[in-house]
């Protein structure tokens, strides 16, 4: 059984969310509309994605993207239900998705506890960004931003710098909302036909990168 820590809902309120062709936006309690962190980060990955789609073809690219998104959502849901101590956490899930989650389950059992938040919206007035964090909990006994990912193949650290920057944003937004600093992130990846991967690091190391990307986004999008 996982222990849960009660979080002040007034400090991390639910946010209205709107998904447009240009990306996702969140409306804060003050009425500000901020782009999602994934929308902001997608600006730098756009050229690589376009090149990949051109290389494999639109039909194949759409099929892979849809499958990846579906599986990613399913594994996130399984992780959330399992960490919430639901006895029937796997009920109704596709066997392939349960298998993907089973890869990372031992990591959760051994290294995660004292869960502060799951799927909680966060926003930053400093960075003018919002998003929804997968999990905030103790990882190896240290309060950590935890993000769950799925992948068709193992990742190299240099390929996933955006994951680390995303985690840095969640830590910054959480501190802005609560006054509680979170120095550590853990990216847990379920990999097809391979051992799961865990990448950890210091959220403070990626704040400069976050600011630079946000400034680029403002220049390109005007917001």
What pLDDT sits at residue 19? 85
Query: Distance between CA atoms of 26 and 31, rounded to whole angstroms?
Result: 9
Checking if the pLDDT of 76 tops 70, the result is yes
Q: What is the rounded average pLDDT for all residues in the chain? A: 89
Q: Can you name the CATH fold of 16-221?
A: Lambda Exonuclease; Chain A (3.90.320)
145-192 confidence digits (pLDDT tens): 999 999 989 999 999 999 999 999 999 999 999 999 999 999 999 998
More confident residue, 111 or 56: 111
Contacts of 16 (CB under 8 A, 6+ apart): 26, 27
Tokens of 11: 């400090």
| Encoded tokens for 91 | 């009920």
Is the pLDDT at 65 greater than 60, yes or no?
no
Count of beta carbons in the 10 Å neighbourhood of residue 122:
27
- pLDDT > 60? residue 62: no
Higher pLDDT, 66 or 203: 203
pLDDT at 125: 97
Please state the domain extents for the chain: 16-221
Q: In what order do the strands lie in the sheet with 129-139?
A: 112-124, 129-139, 142-151, 184-191, 197-202
Provide the pLDDT confidence category of residue 47 given band limits of 50, 70 and 90: very low
Q: Which of 49, 37, 23 is nearest to 213 (CA)?
A: 37
pLDDT digits over 149-161, tens only? 999 899 999 999 9
Instruction: Give residue 43's pLDDT band: very low, low, confident or very high (50, 70, 90).
Output: confident
Per-residue confidence band for 80, with pLDDT thresholds at 50, 70 and 90: very high
Provide the pairing of β-strand 23-27 with 16-20. antiparallel
67 against 194, higher pLDDT = 194
């Amino acid at each position: 059984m996982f222990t849960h820590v009660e979080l002040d809902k007034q400090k991390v309120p639910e946010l209205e969310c709107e998904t447009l062709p240009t990306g996702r936006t969140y409306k804060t309690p003050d009425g500000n509309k901020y782009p999602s962190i994934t929308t902001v980060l997608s600006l730098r990955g756009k050229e690589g994605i376009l090149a990949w789609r051109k290389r494999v073809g639109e039909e194949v690219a759409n099929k892979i993207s849809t499958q990846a998104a579906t599986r990613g959502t399913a594994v996130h849901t399984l992780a959330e239900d399992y960490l919430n101590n639901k006895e029937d956490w796997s009920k109704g899930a596709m066997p392939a998705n349960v298998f993907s989650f089973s890869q990372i389950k031992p990591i959760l059992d051994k290294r995660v506890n004292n869960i502060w938040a799951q799927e909680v919206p966060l926003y930053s007035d400093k960075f003018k960004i919002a998003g929804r964090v997968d999990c905030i909990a103790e990882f190896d006994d240290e309060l950590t931003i935890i993000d769950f990912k799925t992948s068709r193949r193992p990742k190299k650290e240099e390929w996933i710098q955006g994951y680390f920057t995303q985690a840095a944003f969640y830590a910054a937004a959480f501190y802005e909302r609560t006054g509680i600093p979170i120095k550590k992130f853990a990216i847990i990846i379920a990999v097809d036909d391979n051992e799961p991967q865990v990448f950890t690091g210091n959220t403070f190391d990626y704040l400069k990168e976050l600011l630079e990307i946000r400034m680029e986004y403002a220049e390109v999008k005007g917001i």
